[in-house]
Chains A and B, each alone.
Chain A
Amino acid sequence: MKESGKPVLPDEELIRSALGGDDEAFRELMERYKGRAYGVAIGIVGDPDEAQDVVQDAFVKAYYRLKDFRFGSNFYTWFYRLLVNQAIDRWRKRSRAPTVSLDESWMSGEGTMPEAVAYPKTPEELAGNRELVEGLSRAIGALPEHHRTVILLREVDGLSYDEIAQVLACSVGTVMSRLHYARAKLREALKEFREG
């Protein structure tokens, strides 16, 4: 039970209500996943305003496609497919150069060289280190789009390999190789940062 005393309904029940025309049920679903959705969207598109647009568009699309949802499957896996595709489309439409090398991203003249610091353990600690936040943003942004998406879905959202494969409509083997590449690249970038 929630603090307000309102029962926490399972996703599928909310979906049924939303399909029956109850927009508040859909709102509840949206409230449940908007934070995670935003986390994924900003990881893919990079820009906070664009990430919000992506999340908004994905939820609007989900509203109209809710009738296609197969009961018994996970709502978030189904929704994330819409979200990720929306984010990738948005990112592709933008003309921002996607292939900055990691070294350049960390040492680009646009930002200052981050100083070597002990890695933070909490979001508050990280938020206090803008250089690291921005450096991470650039390093993530420098990853090829599909590698970035895979590592965000795995590490941030905790999706299993199978779920990622479903979301991205690719094989588990592809997920594994992309994840391996993305981790190696980010680790390399963090090493640069540490040795700063």
Chain B
Amino acid sequence: MDCTNTIRMLQDGIDGRLPSGESEKFRDHLAGCPSCRAEEASLREVGDLLRLWAAVRAREGEPQLNALWTRVKAGIEEGREPWYAAAARRWFWLPVAAAIAVFALLFYPSDGTRAPFHPIHFDVSVETLESDTATVALVDRGKDLPRVIWIIEDAKS
């Protein structure tokens, strides 16, 4: 393995990603090449220093991290739903469904201008029978509806 190939493989070599055959050749080359060895060492050094740096920064923050659970717990409590929220979410469809049903009953199949079950049209025929004391009106409101009888006394409503 030459220097060009070794330099190209440096990252994989450091991260242990070279296949075993390649890895052996890589190590053999490093063993006999001071310049590639220095390159490899300088890249490893980056990782070593980063780990030390992270350890130092983590130690600096350690006293505050001791209170982390208190802060996390407070955050959890803050985000927690009130007891009724889950029930409300679970049953929210019920009032919605009821409202939809009522709405449908009110207007279907009407055109929206009448109350439910109100016939769109019906035939009315009125027959009146007059007597000395009263007027009797028979109102026929169709086959499906009852016959209505009004008895109106004379001079009275």
Contacts and interface: CB of A to CB of B under 8 A. Distances in A.
B35 to A, nearest CB: 15
Contact of A42 (B57, B68, B72): B57
A126 interface: yes
B132 interface: no
A38 B58 CA distance: 6
Interface in A102-139: 119-123, 125-127, 133, 136-137
Contacts of A64: 76, 79
A136 B71 CA distance: 29
A161 B96 CA distance: 50
B19 interface: no
A155 B53 CA distance: 11
Interface stretch (B21-29, B41-49, B118-126, B134-142): B41-49
Contact of B65 (A38, A127, A156): A38
Interface size class of B (residues with CB under 8 A): 20 to 34
Given A38-B61, A42-B61, A126 B56 contact: yes
Interface residues of A, number: 47
Contacts of A187: 42-43, 45-46
A63 interface: yes
B112 interface: no
A156 B11 contact: no
Contacts of B55: 39, 123, 126
A190 B50 contact: no
Interface string A42-55: 11000010011001
B61 A183 contact: no
B53 A23 contact: no
13 contacts: A30-B69, A39-B58, A43-B50, A48-B57, A52-B64, A64-B79, A122-B52, A123-B55, A126-B53, A161-B15, A161-B17, A176-B11, A186-B50
